[in-house]
Every structure is written in structure tokens, then in C-alpha cells.
């Protein structure tokens, strides 16, 4: 009897851990219980036989219970509200469509990367600013008509969502003054969203991105500026480019220029297709003075232009409005 009790405990333990509990019912130990019967005293055989049968009933019940536990753990409940297949493995779920970086974000990072490798510190511009940084510190006299050219929005409190990243110039100059006096240079790019109260069409948006550069040293030259810009554009488009400039008026630079590149043949251009990319020039002495930098000792150059037009040329995008449209058909073209 102790033999049967011990066997029961052992088999029950095996059944509750087995993934094929029924096979345990065929265990040799159970078969051997029967071979013992002929060796028993006839008076013991009846009770022995009952004990063996009782054992089999208990084991069978344990097997049924184990089987139902196993079944419960393998059946996945069907959730009809789930947006994915609940039976899919984690890997299959991962390969469903993922979001990607917006092309403007990616290209802006690319632009910043090129300038930081050239030694410029990158500073994000503000999205709300004031009249002083937008105009005053940039040598726009009060009531000067050049202010109108920027189609600035204003909040009721008189703040300005900046119409160009040049609003960062005064801050960069003030913060860099100590560096200049210690014998170093100021070399920074500022980038970010700008806003203009413009009618929207294929080449105009009320909200767009600009990147601005500023360099100040004791002997900065226009030639350095043109070399810097040429290098940037050649790296960005991955090829040699023809450049040209023409005079332009911005109150914060003197001389002021518009900088153009010839549209490369590889991007569908013909000789003589000039594309104006940005405004630039030597920083006006009044702008240096406003930041308490002596224009007799230091000189600098600055440039600023839109990011969208760079990207449009690179990818042959014909309409600026695609960028802010949120259209997946457009965005998916940049998945790579």
C-alpha cells in the first residue's frame, strides 16, 4: 500500500508539470502494479485491486485537469477591437508601418550637421520674439519702410512671431562678445520656424524654416563668406556648383547681397538657370554696436535663407504646400 501511496504522489507531481500528461498514464510503474497481483495472498488481492483502480481514477482526473490548463494557456483570446492581429509575433508587429522623420526635419538636421562640422555652433531660434530683436537691434529705424517687407504678425500684446531667424543675431553677438575679446571668433548658425503674413501659394507659406549663419572675427571678409556658402551648398548637393551674387538691401548688412547658385544639370537645370538661395552680407557696424562690439576692431558676416527651397531643389518638389499638408502620399516618398 505504501508503494501505491508513494507512486500516487510521484505521478500526480509529474502530471501537473507535463505537457503530455496522458502519456504518464502508460508509465511502466503502473503496469508493474498488475504484475504484483499473482504474488499476493488471495485474501489481499481484492483490496489491492481496488486501490490500483482508485489510483487510476485519481490520475485520470489529474490528467483531464492538466489538459484543460494547457489548452487555456495556448488559446489566445480574440480581441476584435485590436488594430493588429493579436496572434502576430512581436517582430511581425514591428514591421507594420512606422512613422518616419518629416523630410524638413531630416534635411534641417543635415544642414545643421554640415555647418557644425565646419565649426559653427547650432542654436535653435525662438518662435515668439519682440520688436527689438526683430527690427531695432538689426538697424531698422523706427517707421522705416523696410519693416513692411517682412509682413510680420503681431500678438495683441505686441510680441512678434519672428519673420526671420536674424532675430537671433543680437543674442548671438552679445553672448559671443567675451569670446571675441579673449581672441576667439563668433561662429554660430541659428535655425527654426519663421512666420510671415503672406498669401499662400506654390512658393509662399505663412510658416516656414530658415537657417541663419553669423561669423565675427578681427578680420572676417566677404571672400570668407562666399567660400563658406559655396562649401555648404556643394556639400549639401554633393557636387561642384556655380555661384553668383547681386546687390540687395537688408538694413543689418553692408554691403548686402543675394546669393544664387546655378541649378545643376543633375537636378534638371540648364546653364543660366540661377536660383536665389539666400540673403547675406557684412554685418552692419550699427548691429555690432548694438551688441556692444566695437566695429573698429571686429567685423563679421551673416546670411540667412529658407530651408524649404533647398529641399525642393534637391528632390524636385514643385509645390511648397506639400510640406505642411500632412499627406502620407508625399511623406512616404522620403521613407528610406
Q: Is 176 in the site for ligand PHE (CB under 6 A)?
A: no
Q: Is 166 in the site for ligand PHE (CB under 6 A)?
A: yes
Q: Is 187 in the site for ligand PHE (CB under 6 A)?
A: no
Q: Is 171 in the site for ligand PHE (CB under 6 A)?
A: no
As beta bridge partners, residue 187 has 215
Q: Is 281 in the site for ligand PHE (CB under 6 A)?
A: yes
Please state the closest distance from residue 239 (CB atom) to ligand PHE, in A: 25
> Please, which of residues 212-271 interact with ligand PHE by CB under 6 A?
212, 250, 253, 256
Name which of 247, 248, 255 is nearest 285 in CA terms: 255
> Please, which of residues 300-329 interact with ligand PHE by CB under 6 A?
302-304
Please state the closest distance from residue 149 (CB atom) to ligand PHE, in A: 8
Q: Is 164 in the site for ligand PHE (CB under 6 A)?
A: yes
What secondary structure letter does DSSP report for 204? B
* Burial (CB count <10 Å: 0-12, 13-18, 19+), residue 92: exposed
DSSP E strands in the chain: the ranges are 121-124, 186-195, 207-217, 243-247, 253-262, 274-283, 299-306
Total residues at interface with ligand PHE (CB under 6 A)? 12
Sheet containing 121-124, strands listed edge to edge, beginning at the edge strand earlier in sequence: 121-124, 186-195, 207-217, 299-306, 274-283, 253-262, 243-247
Please state the closest distance from residue 311 (CB atom) to ligand PHE, in A: 17
Q: Is 293 in the site for ligand PHE (CB under 6 A)?
A: no
Please state the closest distance from residue 229 (CB atom) to ligand PHE, in A: 11
Q: Are 295 and 217 in contact (CB under 8 A)?
A: no
The site for ligand PHE (CB under 6 A) is made up of 164, 166, 212, 250, 253, 256, 279-281, 302-304
Amino acid at each position: 500500500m505504501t508503494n501505491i501511496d508513494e507512486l500516487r504522489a510521484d505521478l500526480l507531481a509529474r502530471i501537473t508539470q507535463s505537457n503530455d500528461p496522458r502519456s504518464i498514464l502508460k508509465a511502466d510503474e503502473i503496469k508493474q502494479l498488475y504484475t504484483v497481483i499473482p504474488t499476493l495472498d488471495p485474501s489481499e488481492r481484492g483490496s489491492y485491486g481496488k486501490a490500483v483502480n482508485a489510483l487510476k481514477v485519481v490520475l485520470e482526473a489529474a490528467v483531464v485537469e492538466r489538459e484543460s490548463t494547457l489548452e487555456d494557456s495556448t488559446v489566445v483570446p480574440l480581441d476584435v477591437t485590436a488594430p493588429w492581429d493579436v496572434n502576430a509575433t512581436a517582430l511581425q508587429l514591428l514591421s507594420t508601418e512606422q512613422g518616419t522623420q518629416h523630410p524638413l526635419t531630416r534635411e534641417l538636421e543635415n544642414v545643421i550637421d554640415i555647418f557644425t562640422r565646419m565649426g559653427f555652433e547650432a542654436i535653435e531660434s525662438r518662435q515668439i520674439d519682440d520688436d527689438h530683436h526683430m527690427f531695432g537691434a538689426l538697424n531698422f529705424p523706427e517707421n522705416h519702410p523696410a519693416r513692411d517687407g517682412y509682413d510680420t504678425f503681431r500678438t495683441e500684446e505686441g510680441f512678434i512671431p519672428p519673420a526671420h531667424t536674424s532675430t537671433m543675431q543680437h543674442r548671438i553677438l552679445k553672448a559671443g562678445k567675451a569670446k571675441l575679446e579673449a581672441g576667439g571668433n563668433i561662429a554660430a548658425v541659428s535655425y527654426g520656424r519663421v512666420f510671415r503674413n503672406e498669401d499662400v501659394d506654390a512658393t509662399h507659406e505663412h510658416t516656414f524654416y530658415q537657417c541663419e549663419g553669423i561669423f565675427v572675427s578681427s578680420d572676417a571678409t566677404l571672400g570668407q563668406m562666399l567660400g563658406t556658402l559655396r562649401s555648404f551648398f556643394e556639400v549639401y548637393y554633393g557636387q561642384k556648383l556655380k555661384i553668383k551674387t547681386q546687390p540687395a538691401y537688408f538694413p543689418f548688412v553692408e554691403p548686402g547681397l543675394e546669393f544664387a547658385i546655378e541649378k545643376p544639370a543633375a537636378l534638371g537645370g540648364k546653364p543660366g538657370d540661377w536660383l536665389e538661395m539666400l540673403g547675406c552680407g557684412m554685418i552692419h557696424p550699427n548691429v555690432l554696436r548694438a551688441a556692444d562690439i566695437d566695429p573698429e576692431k571686429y567685423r563679421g558676416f551673416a546670411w540667412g535663407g529658407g530651408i524649404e527651397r533647398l529641399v525642393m531643389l534637391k528632390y524636385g518638389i514643385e509645390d511648397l504646400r506639400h510640406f505642411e499638408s500632412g499627406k502620407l502620399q508625399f511623406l512616404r516618398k522620403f521613407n528610406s
